[in-house]
Amino acid sequence: MKKTWIFSLLFFLGVQLVAVAQPGWNWPEDRATAEEKNALYTDFLKQDNFKAALPHLDWLLANAPDLNESLYINGAKIYEGLADNEPDAAKTVQYQEQALSMYDKRIQYFGNEGDVLNRKGYTAYKYYKDNKAKYPDLMKMFEKVYELNGVNTLDNNLLAFMDVVRRFKLTGGAITDVQVLDYYDEIMAIIDLKKATGKNLDRIEKIAENIDKLLTATVTVDCEFVENNLGPKLKADPTDLKLAKKILQLQLTGKCTDSPLFMTSSKIVNEKEPTYSLTKVIAQKLAAEGKNEEAFKYYNQAVELADDNQKKAEIYYDMAKINAADGQKVSARANARKALSMDPSFSDAYTLIGNLYLASYDDCRGGESKVKDRAVFIAAYEMYKKAGNSQGMEKAKEQFPSIGEIFEEGMKEGDVLSVGCWVQESVTLQRRPA
């Protein structure tokens, strides 16, 4: 018993000595009691004995409210612990209110409002998210959290903020669809800044995905909505990159890519923040409208932005198809060959060249030698063969010169023939199957 008493005495003396040495402590006139209460409540807190800690905490809150910032940090933990373990609903609410008041008093006595509100945010959301009467207060609080913290806003608070916007809107709160989009845009701007740091990317991407889902669950963002509400704003200020990005994202989500506004917003974003994917989409849209010259401008830009040869091959192939459709055989082959230089296994590019050769008989026929005139089909066959296109190979074979035609012109299978015209290929003479 004596040893226990001595141990306890040494413990309290030790706590007192540590407290004396600590900076930032503002002890009240009854310092001895305050030191004892401080030692007791923190010891009980370490044991998760929140009820035992409470009377000692309350004494300090009443008699030494500016003792130290840790009083409110620990106070929040104690009241949150009590709220989590209280079976009585009314008492649970009381404890929750007290827990949140710890954050407010911490700001009152020790400042640092931005950081403390950042910490308070998710706790308040957790307690009030099902309480319609609290939604206006939550909106104001999260607006301030965002204003004071910016990119340092805690990840969970971004998702919570958007969910509060959703709940406020769907329960008849005074907020328009456009205002919902404004909040969404502000939140996503922080998401983009967080992504730029390169930290916790998987987590941030998941949060962004859930925020997108919350948006579509809050307002009906269809093509008509974007056209009517955001289109006029962009027309009034086509330099507004932020607005253009918002419109572009919403149009992609709503599959509104056939709208003229989609092209307008895409070009504005691409001018300031060009990417391979966006540049390619613009080029493809322009090509579909028959604006090939402008399309090629964006295709060439896409090649420069592509970060691997496969992507470059796809762009060159798209350009080759446009050339072919316009009857520009030489340019079509040139771009198909560029595609193959980027990706030698790009079979579609070989097929395209084969198709060009197959369709060149009338253009290249000299009319003096049936065998030489039909050599262009052999050139087509060789391209189809490289593509692994058996159907094309059979089609080309059907147009080879016959064995009789070869014999009549004093030639034989295996001879090397030059295909003139624009083709300019050398082929090995083959006969048409009997």
If you count them, how many residues does the chain have? Answer: 434
Helix, strand, coil shares of the chain, percent, nearest 5, are: 75, 0, 25
Query: 273 by DSSP, 3-state: which?
Result: coil
Burial zone of 420 (CB within 10 Å; 0-12 exposed, 13-18 middle, 19+ buried): middle
- The per-residue DSSP string of 13-26 comes to HHHHHHHHH-TT--
Mean pLDDT computed over every residue of the chain: 93
Give 59-71 pLDDT, tens digit per residue: 999 999 999 999 9
Q: Which sign does the torsion angle of CA 100, 213, 203, 140 carry?
A: negative
Residue ranges covered by each domain of the chain = 356-434
Give 121-147 pLDDT, tens digit per residue: 999 999 999 999 999 999 999 999 999
In terms of Cα–Cα distance, which of 123, 102, 1 is closest to 60? Answer: 102
Q: Whole-angstrom Cα distance, residue 165 to residue 180? A: 7
Tokens of 117: 């509100």
pLDDT of the residue at 20: 41
Widest pairwise Cα distance in the chain: 127
Give 208-238 pLDDT, tens digit per residue: 999 989 998 998 878 998 999 899 999 999 9
Q: Whole-angstrom Cα distance, residue 79 to residue 58? A: 11
For residues 72 and 106, is the Cβ–Cβ distance under 8 A? yes
Element (H, E) at 133: none
Q: Whole-angstrom Cα distance, residue 114 to residue 153? A: 9
Phi/psi-derived region of residue 150, left when phi > 0, alpha when psi is between -120 and 50, beta in every other case: left
Give 289-300 pLDDT, tens digit per residue: 999 999 999 999
